[in-house]
Structure 1
Amino acid sequence: MSAAALAAPLFAANDRISLAFIGTGVMGSENLGAAMKQPGVAVSAVCDVYQPNLERASALARRAGHQPKEVRDFREILADRSIDAICIATPDHWHPYICVEACKAGKDVYVEKPACVAASEGAVMVEAARKYKRVVQAGTWQRSGAHFQKACEIVRSGELGKVSMAKSWIYSNQPAAGIGNPVDKEPPAGLDWDLWLGPAPARRFNPNRFGIYPNAYSYFRFFWDYAGGQLTDSGIHMLDIVQMAFGDPMPRAVVALGGKYWFQDDTETPDTMQATFEYPGFLGSWEHRSNNTELTGNRLMGATFHGTRGTVYVDRTVLRVTPEKGSDLAPFEMKRVADPHPLHWANFLDCVRTRQRPNSDIETCVRSSITSILGNLSLRARMRLDWDEERHTVQQESARPLLQREYRKPWKLEA
């Protein structure tokens, strides 16, 4: 079928968009809740390889008046031509494959960040979105927040003067035991572990790699087979705003250091890290630590832009402008008024109807994802990496294999 034939027709104002949710853990359930706040949607299906997640999501949708079918295998969703759009909130290693296959199936996509685990996957996702004329919104929802938009506007306007540095970070103080060191075992009842692994390497079930615990965020993100730790989980949000403020450039070079200096658990990604990104005209940075917050309840996750006339600070609750001494720049503060997450879903659904590019179009998220991935690769390769934007690779030939990810059979990523 041609790309033109797959392009969705314009929806009438009273048409309901049929949605399916693939991956219904913590973030998947949050997306489900945000989507159901929007008018003109029908939750037609929920999908998860873990039965308790599936049942919880189904109950959530039914309480809101929807009647979703419950599906264990996402391929059933993609084959259902009555479904207009899907949300992908699986573990990160599944994002590229399901997104690309959904585009092929003629469905619009809301895909969680990071867009990809390997840099090479991102280009395939963008290619599929363009080839099949799909609307693909990424879960970097801060782009739909008014105070984040205002912060970027201030930076772009020149009000801060020459901005030569932008910093971003997340801090926490957690017990050294971390998430422990459980042994491999048989998977719990109701879990299709082989399908959960999908294109990732085959291995026995381990509770930490699965990472579904009551009252805890998913731990899969701290293992290299499935994700990239704090940098691709939280760092991408703040680096995405840094890049948004400057018109979405890619860094020219990346240098990172870090390691496990605190946690005594079996996680693989660094608990302490600093990454520096050399952009055209300014320096960007990311850092995270896990055993100190400086006794503060704010500034735990945010970004600052440092200019000759003043500084912009922005986090998920507030934007502040602080003038430099002697500057005529006026102090300014703007607090968050509306939750950007439902606004991000409203933007996505509007674009499904109008066929416009969404606030977090897949190409911008791929760029932010690759920036984050390059930070991890610099740390793991123990070298500076210079990004070649034209060839979509790094100049250091010895590091190029790290940009790829081998898929376990029968899974294959191609647009």
Structure 2
Amino acid sequence: MTDRRNFLKSSSLLLGGLWLSPGIAVARTKISPSDQLRVALIGCRNMGFGILRHHLALPEVRCVALCDVDQNVLDEKLKEVETATGTRPEGFNDFRKVLERKDIDAVIIGTPDHWHCLIAVAACQAGKDVYVEKPMANSIGECDLIASAAKRYDRVVQVGQQQRSGQAFIESKDLVKSGHLGKIRKVNIWSNFNYGLGNEKQSNAAIPAGVDYDFWLGPAPLRDFNPNRFHGSWRHFWDYGGGLMSDWGVHLLDMAVWAEENPSAPSRVLTYARNVNTENRDRDTFDTMNVLFPKKDFLINYDMNGGLQTGPYGKPYGIAYVGDKGTLVVNRSGYEVYPEWSDSPKSPKCEAKKLEGTKESHNLHVANFVDCIKTRNQTVCPPEAGRIAALHAHIPNIAARVGAEELIWDDSKREFVGNKAANALVWPDYRKPWTLPKV
């Protein structure tokens, strides 16, 4: 735990736009070429670039290539990396050209979700290790392909579910598994965020200068350009993402699954989904969902509300592990244990505990990835964990899309039981000339 806290402290330099401290810059000069790790970023806006920053906070990491289909974004980020590190990476618009470079050890995939599978599988086939943002892919079938590719080509893959590297969540899982809360009855999860409503409707527009929009769409259906389906808000449309459910849901549901004795895909899923707010909103996905996952160890109850920003325990999002002896409530800021009480004599059934002031753990998640590249050990969030978490988000979305209140998933056969409409959504239909990768 001391190493974790020290790394968190050392990486605080990434806040506020400051990239590299003098100490890290000096440390870089002492790393021999044979010990350097050369990375490329594919998809350079927002989260992808943030993950690259955390890589570059490690002195052994070099960024040798950036790739984006928006030349405006690419030019901006090339300049930022050059200013921060003193070296300008090579710029690309086509990820396939990046993967042709033999000197690249690992790639970071920060694209919209509908691109994750194609790029991740191709990267594994090219001998690159992979950090892929969550959800691991935009469909159940594509998640399987990534997991299969990682195994066949013996690649280190880290899925960007960074809570697994966070102190608050690690300690919470340990408390749950130690029996501190007694037998866990259920895990209540909630995520209430205003952006879950999607943007207000806008008219179609001209494709921005410098954007290869056809390549941005890639395997997704051909559509006229609309700002709402592009940078920043693409996730509200099934072609590219799964809305608030797959954005925040996959993070929080992963933490419930992580506490299972033997983490598994959901078998029975009960879903309520509606778009309650219909005031000029542009989206395919749902703003309101309640989902029940009856699991072997406990019940998982997920409650999602786009357009709201308050929730239980005064938190917009969180997880409550409800046990016979107490309830543990956790989010990225920390956790608190609320003991149950015995009546005679009146006394707490477990010890109250509290942790405050924890922060985001992207830096620790990246550090784990880099360490595993060196050791060839399994990452803290390997492909199978990413697959299972993604299924907990994709299955409710599929249920909502086909109007099924209940779906039964047979994970051994990779299909839904008795629902053709749901099975039709297990795999995406790729737009030509793109085809599903073969592993």
Which structure 2 residues correspond to residues 244-393 of structure 1 after superposition, within 5 A? Answer: 244-246=258-260, 247-263=262-278, 264-294=280-310, 298-326=314-342, 327-337=348-358, 339-383=360-404, 384-393=406-415
Q: CA RMSD in A?
A: 1.9
The offset of 1:294, in angstroms, is: 4.1
2:145 alignment counterpart? 124
Secondary structure of 1:358's aligned partner: coil
Partner residue in 2 for 1:219: 233
| SS of equivalent to 2:114 | helix
Residue 184 of structure 1: CA displacement?
A: 1.8
Distance 1:284 1:295 in 2: 17
Q: Distance in 1 between matches of 2:157 and 2:140?
A: 18
Amino acid at match of 2:245: L
Q: 1:238 aligns with which of 228, 252, 258?
A: 252
Q: Tell me if the contact between 2:190 and 2:311 (Cα under 8 Å) persists in the aligned partners.
A: no
Distance 1:50 1:373 in 2: 28
Which SS does the other structure have where 2:199 is aligned?
Answer: coil
SS of aligned partner of 1:402: coil
**Distance in 1 between the 2:311 and 2:411 partners?**
41
> Is the CA contact (8 Å cut-off) linking 2:332 and 2:359 kept in structure 1?
no
Is 1:396 the counterpart of 2:434? The answer is: no
The residue identity in structure 1 corresponding to 2:57 is: K
**Residue equivalent to 2:18:** none
2:227 to 195, 207, 232: 207
Q: 1:339 to 1:103 in 2, by over 3 A?
A: same
Which position in structure 2 is the counterpart of 1:144?
Answer: 165
Confirm whether residue 16 of structure 1 aligns to residue 36 of structure 2.
yes
Cα deviation code 1:217-240 (max 9, x no counterpart): x10000011110001001100001
Aligned to 2:438: 414
Shift of 1:51: 1.5
Aligned residue number for residue 7 of structure 2: none
One-letter amino acid of the structure 1 residue matched with residue 399 of structure 2: S
Which residue identity is paired with 2:110? A
Following TM superposition, by how much is the alpha carbon of 1:22 offset from its aligned partner in structure 2, in angstroms? 0.2
Distance 2:424 2:398 in 1: 10
Alignment map for 1:175-190 (pairs within 5 Å): 179-190=199-210
Conserved? CA contact 1:251–1:280, under 8 Å:
no
**Superposition pairs of residues 33-72 of structure 1, within 5 angstroms:** 33-65=53-85, 66-72=87-93
The Cα of 1:328 is off from its aligned counterpart by 2.7
Describe the SS at the equivalent of 1:334.
Answer: strand
Distance (Å, rounded) in 2 between the aligned partners of 1:109 and 1:238: 22
d(CA) in 2 for partners of 1:164 and 1:375? 22
Q: Which amino acid aligns with 1:256?
A: T
Distance in 2 separating the partners of 1:338 and 1:257: 32
Give the conservation status (yes or no) of the 8 Å contact 1:255–1:379: no
Counterparts of 1:284 and 1:182, CA distance in 2: 37
Deviation at 1:190, TM superposition (A): 0.7
Residue 302 and residue 133 in structure 1: after superposition, are their counterparts in 2 closer, same or farther (change >3 A)?
same
SS for the counterpart of 1:188 is coil
Distance 1:12 1:165, change over 3 A: farther
TM-score (norm 1): 0.92
Deviates more, 1:261-270 or 1:333-342: 333-342
Q: CA deviation at 1:337?
A: 4.1
Give yes or no for contact 1:36–1:64 (8 Å, CA) kept in 2: no
Query: What amino acid maps onto 1:62 in structure 2?
Result: E
Higher alpha-carbon deviation: 372-381 or 272-281: 272-281
1:70-89 to structure 2, matched below 5 A, reads 70-89=91-110
Contact kept? 1:86, 1:108, Cα under 8 Å: yes
**Does the 8 Å CA contact 1:250/1:279 hold for their aligned counterparts?**
no
Between the aligned partners of 2:160 and 2:205, the Cα distance in structure 1 is: 33
Does the 8 Å contact 2:65/2:90 carry over to 1? yes
Deviations 1:121-141 (A, max 9, x none): 111111100000000101101
Structure 2 gap segments, 5+ residues each: 1-30, 343-347
User: In 2, are the aligned partners of 1:223 and 1:268 still within 8 Å (CA)?
Assistant: yes
Contact 2:196 2:305 in 1 (8 A): no
- Opposite residue 315 of structure 2, the aligned amino acid is R
Structure 1 residue 335: Cα displacement: 2.7
Q: Deviations over 1:299-325 (max 9, x none)?
A: 111111101011111101111111112
Corresponding residue for residue 5 of structure 1? none
Contact 2:192 2:316 in 1 (8 A): yes
1:396, distance to aligned residue in structure 2 (A) = 2.5
Q: 1:387 to 1:335 in 2, by over 3 A?
A: same
